[in-house]
């Protein structure tokens, strides 16, 4: 018997072809995916070290000799599997726009200022209890070309290596009460309302640090495992 990762519940992930998000239309596969019963290749997976993803960087608020502009935030949470078990040693890679809604990236031409003291990326590894924590600046909203007057809600990108190839996850964390969420095709391409709600972080006064930064909680849940007779 070997453990394989559970099937993904219907409605959790967006469909590849999601017409409201126009870029999917020329990039989504037109053929149905072929189901591959997991083998050793899929139940194992990368555990990249600092030589590959870079050293730990859990404070995005200071760089190049100064403090970034904007509203300081602390983001913390746990990486768990569907059975509620902590996922230790998971590498989280994180990137985001600055407070003005501009990425420190050559492709971003939005007419908003760059911040010389904010790069907007970092990496953390979960502890034995699956927890992580970093501090940053609340990212600004920004316009994009999907449709007339389209604006992305405030969001932070997360990339996560869980225990295996089958748990690889890239997602975005949103902020509570953002009026742009209801209008955002990328967020709303997720069919299941509860699954959408789970991408919205929760404000937490206990995480909030007095006289310093607002606190948000965001847990990430990867596929759980069950035993299967892989030998047969």
CB 213 within 8 A of CB 73: yes
| Active-site residue, selected from the candidate residues 78, 102, 123, 152 | 152
Q: How far is the CB of 211 from other proteins (least distance, A)?
A: 29
Binding residues for other proteins restricted to 56-85, rule: CB under 8 A: 80, 82-84
Rg (CA), the chain: 19
Give the residue with the Cβ less far from other proteins, 33 or 210: 33
Unique residue bearing structure tokens 């519940």: 9
In the shown chain, the binding pattern of residues 187 to 226 toward other proteins, with x for contact by CB under 8 A and - for none, equals x-xx-x-xxx-xx-------------------xxxxx---
| Residue 227 binds to other proteins (criterion: CB under 8 A) | no
Asked if 48 touches other proteins (CB under 8 A), the answer is: yes
Q: Among 21, 78, 103, 223, which one carries the catalytic annotation?
A: 103
- Give, in degrees to the nearest 5, the angle at Cα 120 between 117 and 124: 120
Q: Does 54 bind other proteins (CB under 8 A)?
A: yes
Q: With contacts defined by CB under 8 A, name the span among 66-74, 103-111, 133-141, 209-217 that binds other proteins.
A: 103-111
Annotation says 103 is catalytic: yes
**Rounded Cα gap, residues 159 and 169, in angstroms:** 6
196 catalytically annotated: no
Instruction: Give which of 60, 134, 124, 64 is closest to 98, Cα–Cα.
Output: 60
Nearest distance from C-beta of residue 70 to other proteins, angstroms: 17
Is 155 part of the annotated catalytic residue set?
A: yes
Within 10 A of 132 (CB to CB), how many other CB atoms are there? 24
Provide CB contacts within 8 A for 141, sequence distance 6+: 101, 151, 152, 153, 154, 178, 180
Q: Considering only residues 142 through 171, tell me which ones interact with other proteins, judged by CB under 8 A.
A: 157, 159, 163-166, 168-171
Number of Cβ within 10 Å of residue 200's Cβ equals 18
C-beta of 61: minimal distance to other proteins in Å?
Answer: 16
CA neighbor of 153 nearest in space, from 196, 195, 192, 118:
196
Catalytic residues: 103, 142, 152, 155, 157
């Amino acid at each position: 018997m070997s453990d394989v990762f559970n099937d993904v519940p219907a409605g959790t992930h967006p469909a590849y072809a999601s017409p409201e998000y126009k870029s999917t239309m020329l990039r989504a596969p037109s053929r149905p995916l072929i189901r591959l019963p997991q083998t050793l290749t899929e139940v194992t997976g990368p555990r990249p070290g600092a030589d590959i993803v870079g050293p730990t960087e859990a404070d995005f608020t200071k760089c190049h000799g100064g403090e970034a502009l904007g509203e300081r935030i602390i983001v913390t949470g746990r990486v768990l599997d569907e059975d509620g078990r902590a996922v230790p040693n998971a590498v989280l890679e994180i990137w985001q726009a600055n407070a003005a809604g501009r990425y420190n990236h050559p492709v971003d031409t939005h007419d908003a200022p760059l911040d010389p003291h904010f790069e907007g990326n970092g990496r953390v590894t979960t502890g034995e209890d699956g927890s992580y924590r970093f501090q940053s600046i609340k990212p600004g909203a920004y316009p994009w070309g999907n449709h007339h007057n389209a604006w992305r809600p405030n969001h932070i990108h997360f990339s996560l290596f869980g225990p295996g190839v089958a748990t690889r996850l890239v997602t975005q964390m949103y902020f509570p009460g953002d009026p742009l969420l209801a209008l955002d095709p990328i967020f709303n391409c997720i069919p299941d309302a509860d699954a959408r709600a789970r991408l919205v972080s929760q404000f937490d006064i206990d995480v909030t640090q007095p006289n310093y930064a607002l606190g948000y909680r965001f847990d990430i849940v990867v596929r759980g495992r069950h035993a299967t007779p892989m030998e047969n």
